[in-house]
Amino acid sequence: MAEHPELWTERTPEQRYLFDRPPSFGLARDAERMRDGIPPVIPRTSRRKPRRERGPFVTYLRLPWSYGDRSAGDVWHRMQCMRRRHEMMGGHTMQLGSDVVFIERQCRWCGAEAG
């Protein structure tokens, strides 16, 4: 029959760290320092100032994509429409479901009616 294992009465020194190095960050470091009697360091959080509110004009300047010109082509077409050189489309019939409708001529960029 096998012998009983030897029972230790004294506590053996345990390896507390991975790769024999003390933890250098996080909760493991705080726990290790608390074992040595050092209280954990509570990080100070600095309160950020709230951002200044912008007025409608600055909002318009900062968000041009929401107010119209999305590309250089949009500026070109808008200038052509201002000079009354519209790019007209329409003037034909189209079938929608069982109905035949007439598509009126209008500018494809600004929606100005022909005539």
Q: Which of 1-5, 32-36, 69-73, 111-115 has the lowest mean pLDDT?
A: 69-73
DSSP letter for 81, please. Answer: H
**pLDDT for the residue 99:** 92
**pLDDT for the residue 101:** 92
Could you read off the pLDDT of 56-102 as tens digits, one per residue? 777 666 655 555 566 767 778 888 888 988 888 888 898 988 999 99
Rounded CA-CA distance 115/105 in Å is 9
3-state SS assignment for residue 82: helix
Rounded CA-CA distance 22/35 in Å is 12
